[in-house]
Structure 1
């Protein structure tokens, strides 16, 4: 599985730590930057990561900013992205299981490195379950329909 990771300046240290940890675990990683703590605009990195996921260059994505809120709002504007802002592993797992999330967002000022690792692990290990009656798939389809039917 190819995983993309990106952040803004507030998340660059957590991103670097997660990238090192993921690579050590054998994950094929695409680090989309930034590489230093100079101020950047998080929507640029969110779009870059979202495009990587929807174009199939990465199957999943991890985005980090100070709170996680900004990147989650921005990346969810990319058609085909289903991003979840998480701060603990159960939400990360359920985002995969029930919502077929393909991106998780983390707040570097909210979660520590150990909790971030636990969230990423739960996200990457999680699998989508369409539901025995198809309810989760139906809801994911409705999410896509909302995007397709909305007007700018």
Structure 2
């Protein structure tokens, strides 16, 4: 495939000009609407600020010093949405995993260095896989 860089440059510039002019036109329309309807814009802004202030009243903010990092973090009740490590450990203790789990299917794994390894299955499965695919390990 041959890339025509002059054509690519020309198309990129044309696309950029088109998008740029659309952004400028949109900005002009917004500015015109703001000038014609200042009450709506200011009222909406006040409403958003009031909503944010009302929503923040429900949170109980506390500062906690963490000795590891010698810094202060802001904790809130909103952090309870994310499980703590203790909750994760308790949850993992509740799972009933069988003693003898089925091992995954034997498959080839290639490391970043290009070496091939066999993963999954039992030792016997791995040995049989290597014997069947000797050319991959040479």
TM-score interval, smaller chain: under 0.3
Give the alignment's TM-score, normalised by structure 1.
Answer: 0.18
Looking at secondary structure, tell me which structure has more helix per residue.
2
Choose 1 or 2 for highest CA Rg: 2
Identify the structure with bigger relative contact order (alpha carbons < 8 Å, sequence gap 6+): 1
